[in-house]
Structure 1
């Protein structure tokens, strides 16, 4: 690797742990000649990667622009869509992506099945977090206190013949699903429909989306679900990694 680039990165990494540093502090931390550190610092100042206030250096505004670009370009739909298309080819079923919006889930992307018998779902559809595998995966992996508040206060309304409308049943279902790391539903949002879903996590380890396979109930036997779950889990982890998630800790 280019030594100048490596040394420059070492200098910038100092500011991960230190908000502000003097030139002498950088020299001590880097164990480099003062003239070399000064030249690198001046170059980074001119490019906007560092700024100087008095005798102290700190990260410059250029990083703000880069950070915003990274965030914009890591659009969840953009990251997920190629993976969703691959799931559809592998399972021949529809694939949905949902995020939370208050007390609801909203479908933000879908890949339709090519099968003649299908479950109709459109982008923009909303559903309560307690109903259906994909919305409920957001509730299942929500932080405990927030999850408890939601369950205690939400009105559970029947949407289809198997919608969960009992709080204790909902708690038990969530506990089971959290242990096995996926959710399944049959006729909760629409009669004779089924779905299996897994969570997608961000760099903080927080659930930010649900990824599901959905279709008519007859195609979602226990054997079929057991085949779909590892496919979904691998896909969700791939998307999560691109959002900065790591299994560490």
Structure 2
């Protein structure tokens, strides 16, 4: 869908306030007014309205985002058939590998982490539900990108070029397309240091009756994932988990 300027500027500005409060981790009326370059009375109206509907709270003079966003996100996720089917499988995969297991979906040209669980030997790698990452910079996203319609990928991903997240991110479009072709042929993606320095990931797509549902991944320290034998062991577990999810998705209730 072509994106144009929002017809309701007030709605767009309300979300600008939300994003600013997130960026600042809470702010006073004066701070928001200064950053948005709007009249103080206008900013106050936005803040009071968002407070009244419950999406921000005020402690003293400081406004901050409320946990209503968590409520909304949790409800949305729990409606997902993919999440409901994959949740116990992700837990088991994390237990079996000891690493971070996660599932992802594509939305608006990005990879969104829908669920993640940590195993007993995993490190804190910054993977959490709701995390949005570029499709091209992470194995979890690459397997999604490899199975998206070509015209959509061209318009949404490749037309603006590929941004570097780290020094190891692939930014050359032709090189990325060759890698995506290899991913389709081999049925999985692997990367290390492309999204987060020190992190490697192995990922498999969840494709059911030619429809891309999502992807499932295991992430760990680069030093472990770079090892061929260990990566093959992880890949075996991820593939088994993907098969379990696909069967459950098709035939579960």
Please give the range of the TM-score, normalised by the shorter of the 2 chains: 0.5 to 0.7
* 1:224 Cα deviation after fit: 0.9
Alignment partner of 1:224 is 2:230: yes
Partner of 1:191: 197
TM-score by length of 1: 0.65
Cα displacement string for residues 184-205 of structure 1 (whole angstroms, at most 9, x for unaligned residues): 0111111111000000123x32
In the alignment, the residues of structure 1 paired with residue 122 and residue 94 of structure 2 have an alpha-carbon distance, to the nearest angstrom, of 14
Alignment partner of 1:120 is 2:110: no
Note if contact 2:198-2:222 (Cα within 8 Å) is conserved in structure 1: yes
Secondary structure of 1:99's counterpart equals strand
In the alignment, the residues of structure 1 paired with residue 122 and residue 193 of structure 2 have an alpha-carbon distance, to the nearest angstrom, of 19
* 1:73 Cα deviation after fit: 7.2
Structure 1 residue ranges, 4+ long, deviating more than 6 angstroms after superposition: none
The alignment's C-alpha RMSD in Å is: 1.9
Partner of 1:208: 213
- The runs of 5 or more residues in structure 2 that have no matched partner are 1-77
* 1:166 Cα deviation after fit: 0.5
Matching of residues 1-249 of structure 1 within 5 Å = 75-115=81-121, 117-202=123-208, 204-220=209-225, 221-244=227-250
* 1:76 Cα deviation after fit: 1.4
Note if contact 2:100-2:122 (Cα within 8 Å) is conserved in structure 1: no
In the alignment, the residues of structure 1 paired with residue 133 and residue 183 of structure 2 have an alpha-carbon distance, to the nearest angstrom, of 19
In the alignment, the residues of structure 2 paired with residue 201 and residue 116 of structure 1 have an alpha-carbon distance, to the nearest angstrom, of 27
Quickly say closer, same or farther: Cα 1:147–1:73, change in 2 above 3 A. closer
TM-score by length of 2: 0.64
In the alignment, the residues of structure 1 paired with residue 211 and residue 182 of structure 2 have an alpha-carbon distance, to the nearest angstrom, of 19
- The runs of 5 or more residues in structure 1 that have no matched partner are 1-71
Note if contact 1:201-1:243 (Cα within 8 Å) is conserved in structure 2: no
Note if contact 1:118-1:215 (Cα within 8 Å) is conserved in structure 2: no
In the alignment, the residues of structure 2 paired with residue 116 and residue 128 of structure 1 have an alpha-carbon distance, to the nearest angstrom, of 23
Secondary structure of 1:210's counterpart equals strand
In the alignment, the residues of structure 2 paired with residue 178 and residue 239 of structure 1 have an alpha-carbon distance, to the nearest angstrom, of 19
Cα displacement string for residues 152-180 of structure 1 (whole angstroms, at most 9, x for unaligned residues): 31331111121111001101111111111
Count of matched residue positions in the alignment of Structure 1 and Structure 2: 173
